[in-house]
Amino acid sequence: MDAHLAFRGVGGPHLHLGVCGSVAAYRALDLVRQWQDAGVSVSATLTPSAQKFVTPLTFAALGAAPVYTAPFDDPQAPSPFAHLEPGQVAQALVIAPASAATIARLAQGQADELLACQALAFRGKAVIAPAMNPAMWSHPATQANIATLRERGCAVVEPGCGRTACGEEGQGRLADLREIYLAGLRALAPQDMEGIRVMVTLGPTREHWDGLRFWTNPSTGTMGAAVAVAAWLRGARVEAVCGPGTPWLPAGIARHNVGSARHMLEAAASVWPQCDAGVFTAAVADFSPVPPAQGGDKKFKKSDAPDGFDVHFAPNPDILKTLAADRRPEQKVVGFAAESQNLEDSVRGKLVSKKADMIVGNLLQDGFGTADNTVFVADASGREERWAHLSKTDVAWRLLSWLLSR
């Protein structure tokens, strides 16, 4: 699991997984493990068609419990009320893969199979991830059924494009498992950021000196990606301004890819006026090299400077300070600071100089290129805390909860 997606204990403790007949049914096993790693208990229902592709025992062996297969004729059935139980104990229902037949049943309210009965009796949040032949997916009947389910509040993780099991090309294959995994977590998570629009800057910037070489830093963007995903899981509308090499983000997050510090400032400034909060995690280069005389779009050759040369650096704009100075009173600003020494004094100083509501600081050895983070947090009200050896997803979750409490 990618470090910025490894959330744990973010919401409801129980999820019910429905698996329909599809070659992609075996991939649902990975989803069971991923949700379990996130601290979620998983039960499952396999339709009769799904059992042609994967067995109930396989799900049970991975820890899914109970595993339902038939409503009445199975002597090993865990309960005579198998058609009702998921709705009584689970906080979210995810059907992945969802076949065209099951989607039609759900849209029409038919209850002629166990999974369809469970869905009809389920009052929590529902997610479907279709997988089928591209012609079946694009058929007007399927699209009408999908539209009906969306109108009823069902979240749809649309199928991906590419080659399907039957050999055809098009949209129909099961979506990226990361999308489905996160959709399940979002259905379990508190939607306490619904209606809030958050901008997150993340990753490094690249300051080009010629057409080939650039000045940068080793930031991976993992911390910022964790903040962006955490905000999205909690219902926020997220605008992510991403430097080079930053991690994958779910389709529900608006991604703006940038290169240099000036490019990042331009992209951030374009979305900042519509946002309620900005979280500035990006490791922006403070300086950029001045291109050589022949122009920055060409390669500077060794023969052009046989005796060596000097590089002049010019200061870059301060993105956090610039946008914090140009905000509405109700907009909230959170900055990040990476330091090599005097962390707490530096954080307190930047809280004032940047005019931020909160600064999150870490020493270089505690945050760059590591799976976890140790941070010192201070806000404008005088509150200060040190969070030691937390995963970056835990830091992100705590940060957003702190921001909501202000």
Residues contributing to the annotated binding site for CTP: 286, 299, 317-320, 336, 350, 354
Q: Which residues pair with 163 in a beta bridge?
A: 169
Tokens for 81, please give them: 């009320």
Kindly state the tokens that stand for 310.
Answer: 């000097």
CA distance 370 to 347: 21
What are the beta bridge partners of residue 283?
A: 204
Q: Which residues, including other chains, have CB under 8 Å from residue 234's CB and lie 6 or more apart?
A: 189, 190, 191, 192, 193, 194, 400
Cis ω before 56 (30° cut-off from 0): no
Phi, psi torsion values for 333, nearest 5 degrees: -125, 125
Under DSSP, the state recorded for 70 is: -
Identity (one letter) of the amino acid at 373? Answer: N
* SS3 state of residue 344: helix
**CA dist 291 to 77, 207, 214, 302, 330, Å?**
72, 10, 10, 15, 40
Considering only CA atoms, which of 179, 84, 178, 72 is closest in space to residue 124?
84
Q: Which residue in this structure is represented by tokens 């999308």?
A: 179
Alpha helices in 276-380, H assignment, sequence order: 319-325, 343-353, 364-367
What is the rounded distance in angstroms from the CA atom of residue 187 to the CA atom of residue 259? 34
Q: Among residues 117, 154, 166, 275, which one is catalytic? A: 166
- For residue 89, what is the enclosing H or E element? helix 85-89
Can 161 be counted among the known catalytic residues?
no
Rounded CA-CA distance 390/373 in Å is 5
For residue 365, which amino acid is it? Q
Catalytic residues: 166
